[in-house]
Amino acid sequence: MTGPPDFPALRAKLASGDGPRFWRSLDAVADSPEFRDYLAAEFPSASQLAAAPERRGFLKLMAASFALGGLTACGGAGGRDHEVPYVNQPERIVPGTDLAYASSALFDGFGNGILVTTRNGRPLKIEGNPDHPWSRGGTDVLAQASVLGLYDPFRSQAVQHLGRPSSWAAFRTALQAQMPAWRGTGGAGLALLTGPVTSPTVAAQIARLRAAYPALRWHVGAGAGRAGLYEGARLAYGRPLETIPDFDRARTIVALDGDFLDLGPGQVGLSRRWSAARRAAYAEGRLLTLHAAAPTPTLTSAKADVSVPVQAARLEALARALLGLAEGGAAPSGDDPVARWTRGAGKALTEARGAGLVTAGLTASPALHDLVHRLNGALGNTGTTLRLTEPAEAQGAGTLADLADAMARGTVTALIVLGANPVYEAPGALDLAAGMGRVPLKIHAGLYADETAAHADWHLPVAHPLESWGDVRSLDGTVGLIQPTIAPFYNGRTLPQMLAFLADGTGGDGAEDALGLLKARWREQGTDEAAFEAGFSEALRQGFWADSARPAETVALTQVAAISPYDVHTPPAEATSPPEPFDGTDTPDLARALPPPQRGEGDT
């Protein structure tokens, strides 16, 4: 609410009346007309409750609830009047007993191995797959909760055209009318937007689609995005690479806004590896120290043995100071927490050359990633405590900003959004909703009829991963398979099915055999059909293709000249001699990063 509260009036109100009064905010005590209007606008259903509570109404409701609660006792046998056995009992399916299938859970397009426990044909519980080489039996909260998403009644249940229920057949007819024109122009003006793609099958389908429409532009948007990470590797090595730390070979770890323990595609696998390495070190009688510098408290910095808050903008200078130390420079002087931390981390790293590990997180800038790569290179850590591999994510896509730009210029004539919700997730400055208004044909496929669906002409329901065939790569490249644990509820289709239809325009109304598409992707590698089927069955049973992790690449750092512009702006010395001395508390940088709004300009 606006304005300072009228304290004397509030005190008078609280003092008056008999007995204590309970309140949640000063506005609620004041009970002004503005507050009532605000409450009615923001929480329509709660505004009635905020009015004087009615004893009679309350008692009425409670009595009714009590009576209705008793009704459950009157239920019938609940469909238990008959026994309906199978005609042909499937092997291993015993009514009333558990059966687990190996599958994969998705996080921002990356996979973790899971075991889905089903009973009577219904998936009920998700746990980690202990055999999966990347996730090693771990799951994250999203994987655990994904079984609830399957049964979510608010999932998109039907094809919609202009907000009205339609059908796959109608969609197919409409698209087939468009396709000759697309083929004629090579797909000029056609834009495809997806989430991060690690699935080899989806990547192959997109490649097919781009072959069919050479002028089609593919964009990947939303999510935390690994673009900065890959760009950093490109600066350092000349090509995008994924960094996989091997904690068990490390003797000390330095995290510059590193987030390997925090929620993200790597969390499950990396936190398992870190804790295992930490335990192994403890068994040997040493401590696998973790030094963390981060602008905000994270799980990684909370777990760190030595942690310091540092402004995000100063992380690069910090990395440069560590790089100077690694190359034999002088240790930074000063007695502020950051300088002390830098000395400690630098000492640990230089003492453990070839057995140290410096990491940076998803939100770090490309320049910081570049510096971290050079730091690891200078310390001899690259190739020993960390592997550089081909990225699991399919490369070659444009960004969301490119798409927003193209839409604003009016060069996009048809936009196909598969499994993403850019209108909600994209930065507001891109204004994708307005951009979509300039596109003549907009197709959206997603689990939910969300904000993007509201701006699209066609909305297509996507099948939930627990009812789909598919594959997905983990961060280290291990290919996990996704198998359905139940027949699709709502006639949703998987992304490969939709892409196959978009590429061919033939086949059924998008109902191409999802298992066939998956097998077709992997059959290319084998020759003998029987051997392939046996191998595929074994992979399905395990939940992943064995030994499919990406091998370590041999890399060479590019010339430092590539990063010289950063040196000009921020000389290394700046990291250790900040313009203002710290007051000794642990959170000076946090206070500066988020100055309270009422502070004056001169404060910063």
Partner 1 sequence: MAQLFTPGADALYRLALMTGVACLVGLPVLAAGIVRSNYVTGVGVAPAQPLPFSHKHHSGELGIDCRYCHTTVDKEATAGIPPTQTCMTCHSQIWTGSDMLKPVRDSYAQDIPLEWKRLNKLPQYVYYNHSVHVTKGIGCSTCHGDVTAMQMTYRANAFEMRFCLDCHRAPEKYVRPPDQVWNMTWTPPADQATLGPKLAAEYHIRGGARLTECGICHR
Q: Which residues bind partner 1 (CB under 8 A)?
A: 77-78, 80-89, 94-97
- Complex with partner 1: residue 71 or 429, whichever CB lies closer: 71
How far is it, in rounded angstroms, from Cα 231 to Cα 405? 21
Tokens matching residue 526: 């084998």
- Amino acid, single-letter form, for residue 536: F
Angle value at C-alpha 155, between 153 and 160, nearest 5 degrees: 125
Contact 5, 30 (CB under 8 A): yes
We find the least distance from the C-beta atom of residue 81 to partner 1, in angstroms, to be 6
Contact 381, 355 (CB under 8 A): yes
We find the least distance from the C-beta atom of residue 101 to partner 1, in angstroms, to be 19
Tokens matching residue 460: 């297509």
Smallest Cα–Cα separation from 416: which of 148, 125, 153, 212?
212
The pair phi, psi for residue 136, each rounded to 5°, is 50, 40
How far is it, in rounded angstroms, from Cα 37 to Cα 309? 42
Smallest Cα–Cα separation from 361: which of 196, 281, 245?
245
We find the least distance from the C-beta atom of residue 70 to partner 1, in angstroms, to be 15
We find the least distance from the C-beta atom of residue 79 to partner 1, in angstroms, to be 10
- Complex with partner 1: residue 74 or 561, whichever CB lies closer: 74
Contact 443, 417 (CB under 8 A): yes
Beta bridge partner(s), residue 104: 113
In sequence order, what are the residues at sequence separation of 6 or more whose Cβ sits closer than 8 angstroms to the Cβ of residue 305? Answer: 287, 289, 290, 291
- Complex with partner 1: residue 82 or 164, whichever CB lies closer: 82
- Complex with partner 1: residue 117 or 275, whichever CB lies closer: 117
We find the least distance from the C-beta atom of residue 78 to partner 1, in angstroms, to be 7
We find the least distance from the C-beta atom of residue 77 to partner 1, in angstroms, to be 6
- Amino acid, single-letter form, for residue 495: L
- Tokens 């927003």 belong to 404
We find the least distance from the C-beta atom of residue 353 to partner 1, in angstroms, to be 59
- Tokens 């000390």 belong to 252
- Complex with partner 1: residue 90 or 428, whichever CB lies closer: 90
Tokens matching residue 343: 């000395």
Burial label for 218, CB within 10 Å (0-12, 13-18, 19+), is buried
Q: What is the DSSP string of 364-409?
A: S-HHHHHHHHHHHHHHT-BTTTEEEE--SSPP--B-HHHHHHHHHH
- Complex with partner 1: residue 72 or 559, whichever CB lies closer: 72
- Complex with partner 1: residue 2 or 72, whichever CB lies closer: 72
- Complex with partner 1: residue 100 or 281, whichever CB lies closer: 100
Contact 463, 492 (CB under 8 A): yes
Smallest Cα–Cα separation from 442: which of 481, 485, 412, 404?
412
Q: What is the DSSP string of 486-503?
A: S--SS--B-HHHHHHHHH
In sequence order, what are the residues at sequence separation of 6 or more whose Cβ sits closer than 8 angstroms to the Cβ of residue 24? Answer: none
Smallest Cα–Cα separation from 403: which of 414, 412, 395?
412
We find the least distance from the C-beta atom of residue 130 to partner 1, in angstroms, to be 25
We find the least distance from the C-beta atom of residue 19 to partner 1, in angstroms, to be 42
- Tokens 């009333």 belong to 96
How far is it, in rounded angstroms, from Cα 97 to Cα 121? 10
We find the least distance from the C-beta atom of residue 124 to partner 1, in angstroms, to be 16
The pair phi, psi for residue 91, each rounded to 5°, is -65, 140
- Complex with partner 1: residue 90 or 285, whichever CB lies closer: 90
We find the least distance from the C-beta atom of residue 95 to partner 1, in angstroms, to be 6
- Complex with partner 1: residue 79 or 565, whichever CB lies closer: 79
- Complex with partner 1: residue 118 or 289, whichever CB lies closer: 118
We find the least distance from the C-beta atom of residue 94 to partner 1, in angstroms, to be 6
- Complex with partner 1: residue 90 or 565, whichever CB lies closer: 90
- Complex with partner 1: residue 88 or 527, whichever CB lies closer: 88
The pair phi, psi for residue 172, each rounded to 5°, is -60, -45
We find the least distance from the C-beta atom of residue 117 to partner 1, in angstroms, to be 16
- Tokens 């090579």 belong to 186
- Count other Cβ atoms within 10 Å, centred on residue 511: 14
- Complex with partner 1: residue 22 or 86, whichever CB lies closer: 86
> Is 357 in a helix, a strand, or coil?
strand
